[in-house]
Structure 1
């Protein structure tokens, strides 16, 4: 059983707080402040999910910079609490649209009503959207009305495109459940293949670690729950089994399916069948390590030397090995430099790029908004470092990159078709989208 539920902003501001059992020893402000002090006092990137304070257990998840926290003083499985918090996040996203501090603030009354229906004296009653839909009466408050006409020039995941019929990524940020009395057309289905790429490359250019974590996500705006058939690549293999068919095989080390997915046609035809309710559903998760079928998207060629004025010159040539029709977005290159650096001068190969020296982390941040496949960009950084020595060069690097690759999967997994079997007078719009992103692409110098 749960004692308290609260939502905090990234700065520790209390957005939602509900005491379920009246067991809090102090005030609600003391409880939230205690949690935020403990979580921010921990070393960076080492925040635990579970914390204990005076016999009270804090369990939290973090989404979109917000802390979703539950407390309990009873002997309850912590993984049950994590599952409940994740479902709460999904429900808020489905009811209120894009998840942000502003969204929570505008819809706090709706969130309190959801918690009242989901929990009774700390005991979870239901998290099913189909059940809650019959009891929730509050209307969601949108921060900005959605208009597909305003975003017609925006492509998948923020990329510009000449095809105005392509659904933008923000199309899925509106609420799944329409307001009462709203008869607007919302018959859309979004199927996204999202992959997270983790790479470590040695100084000689040899990949030391390549890992892909992928997920197939289905988000349905359909009022009913018709059966959907998702056809994957026919040559899709799980494990080191035999190749299927005569085409290029798409192999993963392991995969897991949602409990509602039917697999009776998976072995024979690589077809997944599911009856999704309104909202978002993780259909399949998969993993692939070391042996990926495609080339790595980026290669870096660094060079370090001292100029006649005694400055350290760092020359970086970055090549994008995607197809010429593809592109990378929001590329960020982080380069640690010696702590004694006092100034930076730079020469960039195009005006769209920006670079700056971050004094707090002693690192150069090189930002490339758009990087076309098959091209290369360069940057020359001249660092003034008093007392520059060979030991100072050891403080340079490794380089860490983050980026987003729309309409690209490193595993090669594709969707052959997305079919809805239930008869309907008007077929819903079906969107299939792909994206690969990475925030851990490390290159040793």
Structure 2
């Protein structure tokens, strides 16, 4: 009999947590990670115990897949179950990785609801489950924002330089930034009649790795950086200038990565209150703050809050009329949509859900909260295009456009 199932990253981040019987507290996750990381050697025991609680785990895709039990269950049965579970999730999600688990958390929770009932294993057959699972798998989005297929076709000479960043963030329930990755690209799309040399000037204080910090000004730092083979770097080390002769069409001239830190606060912070009212309804009061600069805005903001299984109806109070929210049975979550969110503003929502048999254990199924959004004219790393010059200088009407945007790839807030 299974008490809990949880999936942890190699760093101990809580990706998935499901309590089936309410026998054990959520601190079991912390106890397991402390025990498994305190062991010496590369092969920790598959079965570990703490007081009357037993942990059975495997490692797949760089993740810890763990079940807990207080009963006299066969460890071989539980290990076999975990192996089948990872195979099942791989069948649905396409891969086993931290990123795929974060992107498909709603699907994985739905699978767990069907695979295990009150701690008893039901089925791990993909063929059987496909008749019950409604949530579609989410795959990694192409690293692109702008559809430029219809620009530059009217005879005008144009060059577009787009700085596009995607951020993956995990924020703890205490508001502390636990993990961040920012993947960035500089994309050039050229509609010039002839091959020119283009010089792209980046921030003068741009550094790659901490070893390259120059010691003056506020550094714009990334951890890794790579360039297209056509980019000339003879002016890069000294002046942070990229030189390229763009051909017709679109090219990625530079890619970069920043991990584990941001030069400024994350764009969003959540202040949640989750409780049960006197009528037995689940109350969720969410205050969401946008920590962008005052002249910036986020657009197409969507907040997804997983709620207990069996939630029937939703009533809501939103802070402005242009927002909307709904309870979607297929994802077992409340979706709160905000078309535009100015920097420095704070919005709120009060959700009241009818949940038959609401208990302390089922209230723990609320969260983690996921956000998706776009941040136009903004980069999280601070990277900017200082100048864009063409040689030789073009006569006539030619246009040069520089655009910035940051996308959420995975933005998770624990509550």
Q: TM-score, normalised by structure 2?
A: 0.65
Pair 427,228 (structure 1): closer, same or farther in 2 beyond 3 Å:
farther
SS of the residue corresponding to residue 92 of structure 2 reads coil
Write the deviation string for residues 317-360 of structure 1: whole angstroms up to 9, x where unpaired.
00000111100000001100000211111111100100000011
Could you list the runs of 4 or more consecutive aligned residues of structure 1 that deviate by over 3 angstroms after TM superposition?
41-44
RMSD, matched Cα: 2.2
Q: What does residue range 62-211 of structure 1 map to in structure 2 within 5 Å?
A: 172-174=148-150, 178=153, 184-211=154-181
Aligned pair 1:330/2:300, yes or no? Answer: yes
Q: What does residue range 266-415 of structure 1 map to in structure 2 within 5 Å?
A: 266-415=236-385
Aligned to 1:70: none
Q: CA deviation at 1:42?
A: 6.8
Q: CA deviation at 1:245?
A: 6.1
Q: Aligned partners of 2:247, 2:385: CA distance in 1, in Å?
A: 21
Contact 2:206 2:219 in 1 (8 A): yes
Aligned pair 1:418/2:383, yes or no? Answer: no
Q: Aligned partners of 1:444, 1:228: CA distance in 2, in Å?
A: 45
More strand per residue: 1 or 2?
2
Aligned pair 1:45/2:93, yes or no? Answer: yes
Aligned pair 1:235/2:205, yes or no? Answer: yes
Contact 2:306 2:369 in 1 (8 A): yes
Aligned pair 1:260/2:230, yes or no? Answer: yes
Q: What does residue range 2-81 of structure 1 map to in structure 2 within 5 Å?
A: 43-46=91-94
Write the deviation string for residues 24-80 of structure 1: whole angstroms up to 9, x where unpaired.
xxxxxxxxxxxxxxxxx97433169xxxxxxxxxxxxxxxxxxxxxxxxxxxxxxxx
Q: CA deviation at 1:247?
A: 1.7
Pair 257,420 (structure 1): closer, same or farther in 2 beyond 3 Å:
same
Aligned pair 1:244/2:220, yes or no? Answer: no
Contact 2:168 2:409 in 1 (8 A): yes
Q: Aligned partners of 1:224, 1:277: CA distance in 2, in Å?
A: 8
Contact 1:234 1:244 in 2 (8 A): no
Q: CA deviation at 1:185?
A: 2.7
SS of the residue corresponding to residue 304 of structure 1 reads strand
Q: Aligned partners of 1:326, 1:373: CA distance in 2, in Å?
A: 5
Contact 1:234 1:245 in 2 (8 A): no
| Number of corresponding residues | 283
Aligned pair 1:438/2:408, yes or no? Answer: yes
Contact 2:156 2:397 in 1 (8 A): no
Contact 2:307 2:365 in 1 (8 A): yes
Q: Aligned partners of 2:236, 2:397: CA distance in 1, in Å?
A: 25
Q: Aligned partners of 1:397, 1:42: CA distance in 2, in Å?
A: 23
Pair 444,386 (structure 1): closer, same or farther in 2 beyond 3 Å:
same
SS of the residue corresponding to residue 44 of structure 1 reads helix
Q: CA deviation at 1:404?
A: 0.2
Q: Aligned partners of 2:332, 2:165: CA distance in 1, in Å?
A: 30
Write the deviation string for residues 292-316 of structure 1: whole angstroms up to 9, x where unpaired.
1111000000001111211010010
Pair 415,359 (structure 1): closer, same or farther in 2 beyond 3 Å:
same
Write the deviation string for residues 402-423 of structure 1: whole angstroms up to 9, x where unpaired.
0000000000000100000124
Pair 245,431 (structure 1): closer, same or farther in 2 beyond 3 Å:
farther
Q: CA deviation at 1:427?
A: 5.4
Write the deviation string for residues 348-377 of structure 1: whole angstroms up to 9, x where unpaired.
110010000001111001000000110000
Q: TM-score, normalised by structure 1?
A: 0.61
Q: Aligned partners of 1:175, 1:376: CA distance in 2, in Å?
A: 37
Q: Aligned partners of 2:408, 2:93: CA distance in 1, in Å?
A: 17
Q: Mark the runs of 5 or more structure 2 residues left unpaired by the alignment.
A: 1-88, 97-141
Pair 42,293 (structure 1): closer, same or farther in 2 beyond 3 Å:
closer
Q: Mark the runs of 5 or more structure 1 residues left unpaired by the alignment.
A: 1-40, 49-88, 91-98, 100-156, 158-168, 179-183
